[in-house]
Amino acid sequence: MKNSFLALLAGVLFVSLNVKADEGMWLPSLVGKLNIQKMTSLGCKLTAEQIYSINNSSLKDAVVALDRGSCTAEIVSADGLLLTNHHCGFGEIQAHSSVDHDYLRDGFWAMKREDELSNPGKTVTFLISMEDVTDQVLKNVTDDMDDMTRSSKVHEAAAKIEKEAKGENGYEVRVRSLFESNRYFLFVSQTFKDIRLVGTPPQSIGKFGGEADNWMWPRHTGDFSMFRVYCAPDGKPAE
């Protein structure tokens, strides 16, 4: 699960234009156009709108990026409970461990909210929206430009789009290239910084099989840890 934020869901991925529609990971905003019929034929019960929607709650609101994209995770309750891999919480579990309380060896479970352990520096980022801005980015780019001039024009256009999208809502905005720099997307996201450890199994369970087993299916391991995302009373991020 060590993916960049662009590999969120979904997230959001780096794929070749030659990849078949039934392989790899797909851009959530393009599922409705490219993938939903195939997914439905394979047994998917969700609609494209339930997977990605800007105006309504959808699957994109439940899948998040941990630590700026080093891992992915899923929100599994209305109270911000978050499920991720054991190795994605390994550093925090280790940091909270001591000779008297070896959470790596024995595991840890917070029985009450006040028992949950804070983790300064850990972040959870939600995808708010993504938009294809290729035409805007390449508006002033021509085929006869050299690489340096083209890069400068792309950077200039992207910076303008980001500035206009920033507004005063506190969201993070960034234009990124995908499909081998053939398409450009504006990603709008929101990052929360109060993330607390709720529970983890002993590493004998959570790390069973090691990195090799991390890429196998089916997996015979309890590779998970649980955190909770906290926010201010108004629902916005808070330290």
Chain segment 177-211, per-residue pLDDT in tens: 998 888 999 999 999 999 999 999 999 999 887 77
Do residues 93 and 199 share a domain? yes
Domain that holds residue 160: 126-191
Do residues 174 and 224 share a domain? no
Reply yes or no: is the peptide bond before residue 201 cis, omega within 30 of 0: no
Cβ neighbours around 238 below 10 Å, total? 12
| pLDDT tens column, 74-119 | 999 999 999 999 999 999 999 999 999 999 999 999 999 999 999 9
Cα–Cα distance, 131 to 173 (Å, whole number): 11
Give a yes or no: residue 239 inside a domain. Answer: no
Do residues 74 and 115 share a domain? yes
Do residues 17 and 114 share a domain? yes
Give a yes or no: residue 224 inside a domain. Answer: yes
User: Can you tell me whether residue 214 is helix, strand or coil?
Assistant: coil
Do residues 69 and 110 share a domain? yes
Do residues 81 and 112 share a domain? yes
**What is the full DSSP assignment across 122-191?**
--EEEEEEEEE-HHHHTTT--TT--HHHHHHHHHHHHHHHHHHHHTTS--EEEEEEETTTTEEEEEEEEE
Give a yes or no: residue 152 inside a domain. Answer: yes
* CB-CB contact of 123 with 192 (8 Å): yes
Cβ neighbours around 37 below 10 Å, total? 12
